[in-house]
Amino acid sequence: MDVRKKIIVITGGMGGIAQACARTFKNQPIVITDYSQKLVDEAVTTLQKEGLDVSGIACDITKTADIKSLVDFVGKAGDMQALIHTAGVSGTVNDLKKVYTIDLVATELLIDAFYDIALQDSVAILLSSMMAYTVAPYDKYDDALTNPQAEGSFETVSQFVHDSSDVMYNFVKRGVQLLTHKNVDKWGEKGARILSVSPGVIETPMALKAAEEHPERMAAIKQATPLKRNGQPEDVADVIHFLAGHGARFITGTDILVDGGVIQNIKKMEP
């Protein structure tokens, strides 16, 4: 009998956390995706040179047609073991709608598309952020964050973010966690899991760009981190690797913080 390959799918494949994740799956086929073919080719070439079994396809995660091509590509390669969804933008894009669409709406599009090919023991691991923990639970925006594609949801959330893309980022990352709660039963019926991971400050291109814009704040965060260092992509990748495997078979519908312990101290620093 033909044994189907178990595929690890990683979005945002050129990103710092994505590449570190890929490197933890040395003996498994990986499908990498990012928004342009050029970025995908670069990522695939780099990782193949390191001996990884990796292929790739471009996918702008805000486009349903691209997501469909990605899901078809994965289906041809084998069975989905894990979707590791790292693609995203930070508040530095300075565009409320862009942050909302890429980080939250597209996350829901991916969850729905990958649900169709999820099987017993498949898992979706979504990247949230420790900054989600700075947003208190509140019915009015939580309903909108849980239903990001509903009419008026963006406008509702926008009322609470003081016209700041950074604050919108914190809200939509809370939304990512809420999407796992929304989908956990549905995925559970297939014996599949869905959960999120919330990194602290991890030294990737995204974080280093944010550091350039808010140097004092970034220095204060490092100082406030009990472990007195920023995170490295590998700190997050090792946790994701565990969550994608058999050892994490009873973990679903929750968020795992990988922040060096800093969030408790940051909450005291927030206005």
Ligand X SMILES: NC(=O)c1ccc[n+]([C@@H]2O[C@H](COP(=O)([O-])OP(=O)(O)OC[C@H]3O[C@@H](n4cnc5c(N)ncnc54)[C@H](O)[C@@H]3O)[C@@H](O)[C@H]2O)c1
Determine the Cα–Cα distance for residues 137 and 123; give it in Å rounded to an integer: 26
Determine the Cα–Cα distance for residues 51 and 205; give it in Å rounded to an integer: 24
Q: Largest alpha-carbon pair distance within the chain?
A: 61
Q: Give the one residue of 70, 74, 84, 87 binding ligand X; rule: CB under 6 A.
A: 87
In the complex with ligand X, the residue whose CB is nearer, 70 or 80, is: 70
Q: Give the one residue of 42, 55, 73, 89 binding ligand X; rule: CB under 6 A.
A: 89
Report if residue 34 touches ligand X, rule: CB under 6 A.
yes
Report if residue 262 touches ligand X, rule: CB under 6 A.
no
The closest of 240, 232, 218 to 166, measured between CA atoms, is 218
Report if residue 105 touches ligand X, rule: CB under 6 A.
no
Q: What are phi and psi of 151, to 5 degrees?
A: -60, 135
Q: Are strands 193-199 and 6-11 parallel, antiparallel or unpaired?
A: unpaired
Contact range with ligand X by CB under 6 A, out of 184-192, 201-209, 221-229, 241-249: 201-209
232: left (phi over 0), alpha (psi -120 to 50) or beta: beta
Q: Give the one residue of 80, 199, 225, 252 binding ligand X; rule: CB under 6 A.
A: 199
Q: What is the DSSP string of 94-137?
A: --HHHHHIIIIIHHHHHHHHHHTT--TT-EEEEE--GGGGGS--
What secondary structure letter does DSSP report for 168? H
Hey, what are 108's tokens? 């829901």
Size of the site for ligand X (CB under 6 A): 26
Rounded least distance, CB 202 to ligand X, Å: 4
Residue 24 contacts residue 238 (beta carbons within 8 Å):
yes
Q: Give the one residue of 8, 77, 82, 88 binding ligand X; rule: CB under 6 A.
A: 88
Contact range with ligand X by CB under 6 A, out of 59-67, 116-124, 143-151, 242-250: 59-67
Rounded least distance, CB 209 to ligand X, Å: 8
Q: Give the one residue of 161, 206, 256, 266 binding ligand X; rule: CB under 6 A.
A: 206
Contact range with ligand X by CB under 6 A, out of 73-81, 178-186, 196-204, 241-249: 196-204
Determine the Cα–Cα distance for residues 269 and 162; give it in Å rounded to an integer: 18
Residues that bind ligand X (CB under 6 A): 12, 14-18, 34-35, 39, 60-62, 86-89, 102, 127, 129, 199, 201-202, 204-207
